[in-house]
Amino acid sequence: MRLRSLLFVPAHKSKYYEHALASEADAIIFDLEDSVFSTELKASARKILAENVNIFEGSGKHLFVRINDRESGELFDDLILTASLPIDGYMYPKAHSAQDIYFIDKYLDVIEAKLKLPNGGLKLLPLIETAESIFNVLSIAKESDRTVGLAFGCEDYLGDTGGNHDLNEAALESARSAVALACRASGIEPIDTVHIKIHDAEDLARNLKIAKTHGFSGMLCLHPKEISTVNDNFTPSFEELAWAQNVLDIANESQSHYNGVVLVDGQFVGPPLIQKAEKVLNRARVLGLVK
């Protein structure tokens, strides 16, 4: 999946659907949780989503619905009233442990059977946003074959831990590392947290640099104005592609001629560097940049 930029859209705000469609976001997350406050409004949001989601047909965007958690009293209606819509799956909030993912996975098995949908077709994108979830993040990542990635939610995480934002986001460092490592160990996409200062381009750039350093491949977005910058940062540059191809060419030539130690930019061309180059090119293939 192309999951560089994932744009939140309050599901009850139909006027935002056209803006989301016109954006360059790889994925849209229709929110039925935090941005929809009352039970009455959640019911209205599900109806508005059902009436408007078809405008995204043919857009190439992945579509997810952020549902309410299992203790909310809203989860059944969220699923049964949206599962037959043309969506890719669900963002599951506050995934505390693998048990939460097991629960939602089996719930979806039943709903897919009831609605005669392909088993396993609805994917999961759990949100990691509590201290407990960080300690359980690897088991959460590995629990279900439906899971295509994990997304980090910084605001709920800081609320849970009592931490605070600072210039270098030091309070988020260990959590970001844990989420990215769990995803890479599980072969799924690590998605970084939202950038809350949507009018501060410099701060966005700083957070994107941190995210890439930790190994994230995408970011949650609150505003369409962020998306172009986010996509650019999570797309291999021409220089990165040239470097990766050069490493692989030199490695292949070295093996065919039984050469000894080979260096590229002062780095030994061994298995770790070759693996890194292959990942850059594989990423480019997913994004349609190379064949």
Q: Which CATH number fits domain 5-233: 3.20.20.60, 3.30.70.100, 3.40.50.2000, 3.40.50.2300?
A: 3.20.20.60
Residues paired with residue 149 on neighbouring β-strands, in sequence order? 189
Q: Answer for the pair 154, 115: CB distance below 8 angstroms, yes or no.
A: no
- Indicate if the pLDDT at residue 158 is higher than 80: yes
C-alpha–C-alpha distance, residues 15 and 36, integer Å: 15
Average the pLDDT over each of 17-21, 110-114, 137-141, 282-286 and give the range with the smallest value: 282-286
- Indicate if the pLDDT at residue 237 is higher than 90: no
Which pLDDT band holds residue 260 (cuts at 50, 70, 90)?
A: low
Span 78-92, mean pLDDT? 97
Domain boundaries, the chain: 5-233, 238-286
Span 66-93, mean pLDDT? 95
Query: Among 107, 160, 150, 109, which residue's Cα sits nearest to residue 130?
Result: 160
What is the structure's pLDDT at 270?
A: 74
The overall average pLDDT reported for the chain is 92
Strands 218-221 and 263-264: unpaired
- Indicate if the pLDDT at residue 150 is higher than 70: yes
Which pTM value belongs to this model? 0.90
C-alpha–C-alpha distance, residues 184 and 186, integer Å: 5
Q: Answer for the pair 45, 65: CB distance below 8 angstroms, yes or no.
A: no
What is the structure's pLDDT at 271?
A: 79
What is the structure's pLDDT at 284?
A: 86
